[in-house]
Amino acid sequence: MRLQVLIATQGQSGHRLLDQMQIRSDAIIGNQCGRYEVETFSFHGYDVQIYSYRERGVGLNRNHIWMRADADICLFADDDVRYDDHYAEKILTEFSKHPEADVLLFNFHCKNKTREEYIIPKWKRVRWYNSLRYGTYRIAVRTERVRRANIAFSLLFGGGARYGSGEDCIFLHDCLRHGLKIYACPIFLGEVSHQDSTWFHGYTQKFFHDKGALFAHLFPRLAKPFCLVFLIRHPSFRTDGLPFWKAYHAMKGGIQEYLGKYSEGVPCEKTADLRQQ
């Protein structure tokens, strides 16, 4: 089997990112910047392609490189990840050991203690109710199986889109909805810095509004209960001066906007179509 790392980044020039991330496999880089350019070259004996373009939006960026992937296994990546020396072997070994797995989720150490990620304690099956805790950079897929299900990244959710995050949750949710099998693996592949973000600016009103819209997309009939559970289970998210009910009100506003029932400054006939994007 062959692995490709699919890296979404922006504003890059030169090839320094490959050394920073310690890439030791084939890779495709989507570089959103101010130019259109295609590069293909060898890096430490591995094939690398860099596609530079002027578009914005992390979902669009990931889709650009996802549609060009041709390896058996693909690992999605952000540019603030640094991999261990043998990450490629670890991933391919796990897929070889588990032919039933269509998608595998891995662990990363987080350098930013204020944005620590969920650590997978043991091998387990991922279902709809526990699939919302994994970032895109933790996702590895069997390319052809996911392609056959016609699954790609949302253009409505994620950095640079209308709603600031959630493309990772929607991707996994779509995989489950199409019957693909997802497993969480306790193996660590490297570390993520989480120092800078194009969408996260604290637990603000927009943060909670966008989370409400995400729950409306994933669970239209259960969005409000999911919002309440989210706030109860994550009290540390209310550290920017938003009390519980104000945060919940912001989330309900996101639900109502997404479902087309209410949107301040946006006509309902426009928001009613958001679910189709």
pLDDT > 70? residue 142: yes
CB atoms within 10 A of CB 51: 18
pLDDT > 50? residue 218: yes
The mean of the pLDDT values for the chain is 90
The per-residue pLDDT for 182 is 98
| pLDDT band (50, 70, 90) for residue 202 | confident
The per-residue pLDDT for 130 is 93
With beta carbons less than 8 A apart as the criterion, state whether 140 and 104 touch.
yes
Mean pLDDT of 200-229: 91
Q: Measure the CA–CA gap between 224 and 235, rounded to whole angstroms.
A: 17
Mean pLDDT of 197-225: 88
pTM of the model: 0.90
> In the chain, what are the domains?
3-192 (3.90.550.10), 205-276 (no CATH)
CB atoms within 10 A of CB 169: 21
The per-residue pLDDT for 112 is 83
Which phi and psi angles does 12 have, rounded to 5°? -90, 145
pLDDT > 70? residue 48: yes
pLDDT > 80? residue 40: yes
With beta carbons less than 8 A apart as the criterion, state whether 131 and 173 touch.
yes
pLDDT > 60? residue 99: yes
The per-residue pLDDT for 114 is 73
pLDDT > 60? residue 90: yes
The per-residue pLDDT for 199 is 59
What is the b/e burial string over 130-165, where b = at least 16 CB atoms within 10 angstroms of the residue's CB?
Answer: ebbebbbbbbbbbbebbeeeebbbbbbbbbbbbbbb
Mean pLDDT of 195-204: 71
With beta carbons less than 8 A apart as the criterion, state whether 62 and 30 touch.
yes
Q: Measure the CA–CA gap between 86 and 181, rounded to whole angstroms.
A: 25
Q: Which of 49-53, 111-115, 267-271 has the lowest mean pLDDT?
A: 267-271
Express each pLDDT in 3-31 by its tens digit. Answer: 999 999 999 998 999 999 999 999 999 99
pLDDT > 70? residue 143: yes
Residue 217 three-state SS: helix
Express each pLDDT in 231-258 by its tens digit. Answer: 998 877 665 568 888 999 999 999 999 9
The DSSP call for residue 137 is G
Mean pLDDT of 71-100: 97
Residue 4, H or E segment: strand 3-10
